[in-house]
């Protein structure tokens, strides 16, 4: 292909990527957005194959990666999507590091230097930025994967003087990066890379479970910027555009997540609140009383209500109860009950987690309502069913100035006339905090696996 044809093909792919992002902004157009993204990526890959050498090796790598991806996609459960996303981010970061090392080792092959010439100063800066961002993304995403999958636990891990250690490592890393830019050699490049890998671990380990949705979107942004940095080095406009789109959208999403949690971005990065999932609720030594009931009681209350709002959480995903809850909603709707789903921006373990689950169960889009739109309607709602959620409905965010989540916007389920909470036990949620909602006089706890409880509710409604 001629240079003009390549540029035109890359431009078309870039436009499709932009349309993909636009489509993914709404559940209604998400499927179309995915199609745009896949077509754009296919065009970009095919165009790259026409201008590269050793096509056989590349095709073998694509085939191997495609097989692995297909196997993982078929086996992965929806509950494991957050850690899968984190794992994919780590691969993007690793790819950026390996490409940077390869480009530095043989810049002539990459067309960024002439035979016998050293790398241009601007290329060294690009390699430096792409490498350290990619390295931090790689190890940081691995730690995020461990936390989200439960292999490392959600509790934040702190040590004395950790912020000063991180600051010192950051300064030393930049110092070696500058040294590499001034005098390109492997020693400062490798030291800088190793420090960046260590920083990725140290930056994510202190972050608690409640802040993990922000971490996921932040690492998404990092992976994009790493790709864009390498794109500048390789003079690949497609990589620059795609990386910039991912980086900027991830940054915007991180901002939205932080705003939804009333958290400053740097406070999250410097170590946020969070505790072990399933920890016993801390009641401050005071024995609190709560009211419990059966699935039949819940079915009677919802079946005789005029309006019901369902608040889904991670427990719904763990129990794989999204299809059952949709069936229950249909039955209530047939009885004349107005049913809606209230979605908190950070419900679950990643941005949009609950939206994806409900879309998988084919819940009507018009029933799924975001927090800002539905909060004013809780006070006029007969019954709220909180299923698998905890921290996103905790009234302490509004009433307790000493609570770690004070000021965080929540779904105001406590304002409803009757509250039903489906949980396995009275254990605390992902943030490790007790929830006063469970002890209100108008709240009824229904203990058990979310799927089994919903199935029992369905039988009782029938």
Q: Write out the catalytic residue numbers.
A: 391
Q: Which residue has the tokens 């009641």?
A: 283
Report how far residue 376's alpha carbon sits from residue 378's, in angstroms, rounded to the nearest whole number: 6
Q: Show Cβ contacts of residue 451 under 8 Å, excluding neighbours closer than 6 positions.
A: 319, 320, 321, 324
- In angstroms, the first-to-last Cα distance of the chain is 65
DSSP secondary-structure letter at 2?
-
- The answer to whether 321 touches 236, Cβ cutoff 8 Å, is no
- The answer to whether 230 touches 130, Cβ cutoff 8 Å, is yes
Q: Show Cβ contacts of residue 37 under 8 Å, excluding neighbours closer than 6 positions.
A: 16, 17, 20, 24
The secondary structure of 315-346 as a DSSP string is HHHHHT-HHHHHHHHHHHHHTT-EEEEEE-TT
User: Which runs of E-coded beta strand occur in 229-374?
Assistant: 307-312, 338-343, 368-370
Report how far residue 417's alpha carbon sits from residue 384's, in angstroms, rounded to the nearest whole number: 8
For residue 424, which of 448, 441, 404 has the smallest C-alpha distance?
A: 448
φ/ψ of 153, rounded to 5, equals 80, 155
Q: Which two tokens stand for residue 283?
A: 């009641």
Q: Which two tokens stand for residue 77?
A: 């459960």
Q: Which two tokens stand for residue 449?
A: 């696996």
């Amino acid at each position: 292909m001629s240079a003009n044809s390549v540029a035109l093909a890359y431009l078309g792919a870039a436009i499709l990527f932009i349309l993909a992002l636009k489509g993914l902004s709404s559940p209604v157009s998400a499927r179309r957005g995915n199609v745009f993204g896949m077509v754009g990526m296919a065009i970009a890959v095919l165009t790259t194959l026409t201008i590269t050498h050793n096509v056989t090796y590349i095709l073998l790598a694509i085939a191997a990666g495609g097989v692995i991806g297909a196997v993982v996609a078929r086996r992965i459960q929806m509950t494991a999507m957050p850690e899968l996303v984190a794992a994919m981010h780590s691969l993007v970061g690793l790819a950026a590091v390996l490409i940077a090392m390869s480009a530095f080792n043989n810049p002539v092959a990459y067309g960024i230097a002439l035979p016998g010439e050293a790398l241009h100063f601007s290329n060294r800066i690009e390699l430096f930025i792409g490498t350290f961002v990619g390295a931090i993304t790689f190890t940081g995403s691995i730690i995020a994967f461990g936390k989200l999958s439960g292999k490392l636990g959600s509790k934040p891990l702190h040590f004395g003087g950790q912020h000063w250690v991180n600051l010192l490592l950051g300064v030393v890393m930049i110092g070696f990066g500058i040294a590499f830019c001034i005098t390109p050699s492997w020693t400062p490049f490798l030291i800088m890379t190793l420090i960046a890998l260590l920083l990725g671990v140290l930056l994510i380990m202190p972050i608690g479970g409640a802040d993990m949705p922000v971490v996921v979107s932040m690492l998404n942004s990092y992976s994009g910027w790493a790709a864009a940095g390498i794109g500048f080095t390789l003079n690949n406009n497609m990589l620059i555009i795609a990386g910039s789109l991912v980086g900027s959208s991830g940054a915007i999403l991180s901002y939205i997540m932080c705003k939804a949690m009333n958290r400053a971005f740097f406070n999250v990065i410097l170590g946020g609140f969070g505790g072990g999932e399933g920890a016993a609720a801390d009641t401050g030594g005071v024995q609190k009383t709560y009211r419990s009931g059966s699935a039949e009681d819940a079915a009677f209350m919802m079946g005789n209500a005029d309006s019901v709002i369902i608040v889904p959480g991670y427990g719904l995903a763990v129990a794989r109860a999204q299809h059952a809850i949709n069936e229950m909603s249909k039955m209530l709707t047939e009885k004349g009950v107005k049913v809606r789903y209230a979605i908190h921006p950070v419900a679950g373990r990643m941005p949009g987690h609950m939206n994806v689950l409900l879309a998988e169960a084919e819940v009507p889009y018009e029933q799924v309502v975001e927090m800002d739109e539905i909060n004013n309607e809780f006070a006029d709602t007969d019954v709220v069913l909180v299923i698998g959620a905890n921290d996103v409905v905790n009234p302490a965010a509004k009433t307790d100035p000493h609570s770690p989540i004070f000021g965080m916007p929540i779904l105001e389920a406590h304002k409803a006339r009757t509250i039903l909470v489906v949980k396995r036990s009275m254990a605390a949620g992902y943030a490790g905090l007790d929830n006063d909602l469970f002890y209100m006089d108008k709240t009824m706890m229904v203990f058990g696996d979310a799927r089994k409880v919903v199935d029992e509710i369905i039988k009782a409604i029938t």
